[in-house]
Amino acid sequence: MTPQTKYARSGDVHIAYQVVGSGARDLVIVPGWISNIEVFWEEPSVAQFFERLASFCRLILFDKRGTGLSDRVSDMPNLETRMDDVRAVMDAVQSERAALMGYSEGGPLCALFAATYPERTAALIALGSYARLRPAPEYPPVRSPAANQAFMEACEREWGGPVGLDLRAPSVANDPAMRRWWARYLRMSASPAAAIALIRMNYEIDIRHLLPVIRVPTLVIHSVGDLAVPVAAGRYVAEHIGGAKYVELPGSDHLPWGEDADAIVTAIEEFLVGVQHADIDRVLATVLFTDIVDSTKKAVELGDRRWRELLERHHASVREHLRRLRGREIDTAGDGFLAAFDGPARAVRAAQGIASDVKRLGVDIRAGVHTGECVTMGEKLSGVTVHVGARIASLAAPGEVLVSSTVRDLVAGSGLRFRDRGAHQLKGVPGDWHLYSIESD
Does some domain include residue 1? no
Give the span between the Cα atoms of 73 and 63, in whole angstroms: 13
Give the whole-angstrom CA distance, residue 92 versus residue 97. Answer: 13
| Region 165-172 average pLDDT | 97
Q: What is the mean pLDDT of the chain?
A: 94
pLDDT of residue 78: 87
Q: Which domain holds residue 26?
A: 6-273
Of 232, 216, 212, which is closest to residue 224 (Cα–Cα)?
232
pTM greater than 0.85 (yes/no) = yes
46 & 190 share domain: yes
Q: Three-state SS for 222? A: strand
Same domain, 205 and 332: no
How many residues appear in the chain? Answer: 441
Whether the pLDDT of residue 279 is over 90: the answer is no
pLDDT at res. 333:
86
Q: What is the pLDDT of residue 281?
A: 76
Same-domain check for residues 226 and 363: no
* Same domain as 166, residue 137: yes
Model confidence at 441, pLDDT cuts 50, 70, 90, reads low
Contact 38, 1 (CB under 8 A): no
- Strand pairing class (121-127; 218-223): parallel
Q: What is the CATH number of the domain that holds 386?
A: 3.30.70.1230
Q: Clarify whether residues 253 and 316 are in a common domain.
A: no
The predicted pLDDT at position 277 comes to: 66
CATH code where residue 31 lies: 3.40.50.1820
Q: Is the pLDDT of residue 1 over 80?
A: no
Most confident range, picked from 22-26, 201-205, 378-382, 401-405: 401-405
Q: According to the model, what pLDDT value does residue 412 have?
A: 79
DSSP 161: B
CA-to-CA dists, residue 76 to 54, 71, 141, 407, 438, angstroms: 30, 12, 26, 18, 20
Residues 251 and 299 reside in one and the same domain: no
